[in-house]
Structure formats: structure tokens, C-alpha cells
């Protein structure tokens, strides 16, 4: 899919593309924090299933998540890696995975 941001990337206008993407990412973050379904729908329409935009968006949020994880471990990268590995193993060891409660450390919910 050739969206506006990808078209800018393709024509070498990477600075302009990066600026538009940074704005989109922050709009999405704000829409999520404010629980604005209208804003989320608007951003979804802009992306319009563009695989490249979805990939860049995913990578941006993974980077942010990684930064927060390292920060929560006091800047200790090895501790952050160990905690993520342990969390991954915990999810993988769920038998069977509980789709209703995807957080393995969460206390059971009352029926």
C-alpha cells in the first residue's frame, strides 16, 4: 500500500516522513491514553493497512517499551533481559493459555 508517509520515504524525503510519523505516533499514544475511539479510527484510516507503516509503528512502540523496561530495572540491561525472558517463559508455560486472562501474574478473578 502506498500511503503518504511511505511515498515521502520513497522519494527520499525521510525527514518529512519521520516528522509525520512522529506526529502520528504521538497522536496514537494520546488517543490511547484518552481512550478516544474517534481519534483511533482516524489514525487507523490514515494507515489504511499499510504494512510498512504498521511495521514502523510496531517498532516504535517496541522501542518505547524496551526503554521503559530498562528504566524500571534501574538502567540494568542484563536485569531487564532476564525479566523479559522470565516473563516470556511464564507465558509460554501456561497450559493452556488463558485467553480471558493474558497476564500470568494476575490474581484470579472472581466468577
pLDDT by residue (tens digit) across 63-85?
999 999 999 999 999 999 999 99
DSSP-derived 3-state class of residue 64: helix
Q: What is the mean pLDDT of residues 97-108?
A: 57
Share of the chain above pLDDT 90, in %: 60
Nearest to 20 by CA among 31, 4, 32: 4
- 93 or 36: which carries more pLDDT confidence? 36
DSSP-derived 3-state class of residue 61: helix
Query: 75, 27 in Cβ contact below 8 A?
Result: no
What is residue 107's predicted lDDT score, i.e. its pLDDT? 47
* CA 26 – CA 5 distance, rounded (Å): 15
* Report field, pTM of the whole predicted structure over 0.85: no
Question: Domain segments of the chain: what residues?
Answer: 4-93
Half-sphere CA count of 22, side-chain side, radius 13 A: 6
pLDDT reading at 2 higher than 80? no
Amino acid at each position: 500500500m502506498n500511503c503518504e508517509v511511505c511515498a515521502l520515504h520513497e522519494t527520499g524525503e525521510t525527514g518529512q516522513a519521520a516528522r509525520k510519523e512522529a506526529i502520528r505516533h504521538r497522536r496514537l499514544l494520546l488517543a490511547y491514553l484518552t481512550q478516544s475511539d474517534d481519534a483511533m479510527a482516524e489514525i487507523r484510516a490514515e494507515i489504511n493497512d499499510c504494512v510498512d507503516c504498521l511495521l514502523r509503528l510496531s517498532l516504535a512502540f517496541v522501542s518505547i517499551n524496551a526503554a521503559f523496561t530498562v528504566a524500571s530495572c534501574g538502567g540494568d540491561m542484563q536485569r531487564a533481559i532476564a525479566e523479559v525472558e522470565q516473563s516470556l517463559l511464564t507465558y509460554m508455560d501456561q497450559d493452556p493459555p488463558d485467553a480471558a486472562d493474558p497476564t500470568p501474574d494476575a490474581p484470579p478473578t472472581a466468577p
